Amino acid sequence: MSDIQTAKAVVAEFHHKLDNARFEQIPDMLAAATADDYLWRGYHPFHELHGADAVASRFWQPLRAALRRMQRRQDIFFAGRNEMDGEASTWVVSMGHLMGLFDAPWLGIAPTRKMAFLRYCEFHRVEDGRIAETALYFDLPHFMVQAGLRPFPVQTAAHLVQPGPMTHDGLLTAPQDPAEGAATLALINAMISDLGQWNSGLTLEEELARTWADDMIWWGPEGIGATYTIPRYAEQHSGPFRAGFTGRTPTKHLCRMAEGNYGGFFGWPNFTATPTGGFMGMPGTGKAGEFRVIDLYRREGDKLAENWIFIDLLHFWNQQGIDILARTTALNGTLRE
């Protein structure tokens, strides 16, 4: 357990230094905290970046210039050993919002001079006291909507600035009982087994009830939205998603782990699927596309109670020939509400 606590301390110190660094200090700060061959994975339009200088100059400095006086408002923090590599590596998860005053353009999005929230979730692989690898997933369409843009048609579920756990116990800075983490991971694996086959022989709601609480909350990304209870989740996301796609490949993850009542995973991609029916108000293309996803879960008893989801929908639709970011920002505000 000591390596898990050590990894948490490394990431907590990294956050403190990054969040308090002056603009010009960010490259040197990242270089000191990360490995020489640092690999960073992020959403469209960033994708993979290599080395601290690239991450600083292409992501963190432009974001800090746009989102002035930025604060990290963290809701979930935990760590664990990665099931996908036989527990050889240790990862630390942080989820919440980066909040600030949107005072300068970012990625072609015009500033509002108002508060803005960038939903984020990051997985850090810690090795020899430094961060060797990061997956930082963030809800850019959600940020665009706050700036008055409409990147997608009306979604099936609710648009919200999404809160953390209902139990307010998601910051696992202290050691946790390993048995609790094992129970969480086992439940997540059972859910993945059900989710990945689409042919359980049960109705969708019956299948979901095997691993989900009836009053589950699915905190989905902008373009799909958040939904509450098994029946509404089936109606507002899971059912339409299954109806809109064929050829879903088996699930594969780069990291999957849990600690206490919290767990999650990410892939690059998690799976591919082919849109053949309508999805997100757009027609099927018949072309397979990648889904890069982070899922975090809170377990309550023997069921999953809450799920926070980050899906790179801009990357998916870009593979279908639709550059949502470029198309929306190029209209110079004509899509603003």
Nearest C-alpha neighbor of 98 from the set 7, 33, 19: 19
Report CA Rg, the chain. 19
Q: Where are the domains of the chain?
A: 2-146, 178-327
- Per CATH, domain 2-146 is 3.10.450.50: yes
Structure tokens at 62: 């432009």
pLDDT in tens, the chain (337 residues): 689 999 999 999 999 999 999 999 999 999 999 999 999 999 999 999 999 999 999 999 999 999 999 999 999 999 999 999 999 999 999 999 999 999 999 999 999 999 999 999 999 999 999 999 999 999 999 999 999 999 988 778 888 888 999 999 999 999 999 999 999 999 999 999 887 566 667 889 999 999 999 999 999 999 999 999 999 999 999 999 888 898 889 889 999 999 999 999 999 999 999 999 878 888 888 999 999 999 999 999 999 999 999 999 999 999 999 999 999 988 644 444 3
CATH number at 178-327: 3.10.450.50
CA 263 to chain centre: 13
Structure tokens at 96: 């919440």
Terminal alpha carbon distance of the chain: 50
Neighbour count for residue 188 (Cβ, 10 Å): 24
Topology alike, domains 2-146 and 178-327: yes
Neighbour count for residue 32 (Cβ, 10 Å): 11
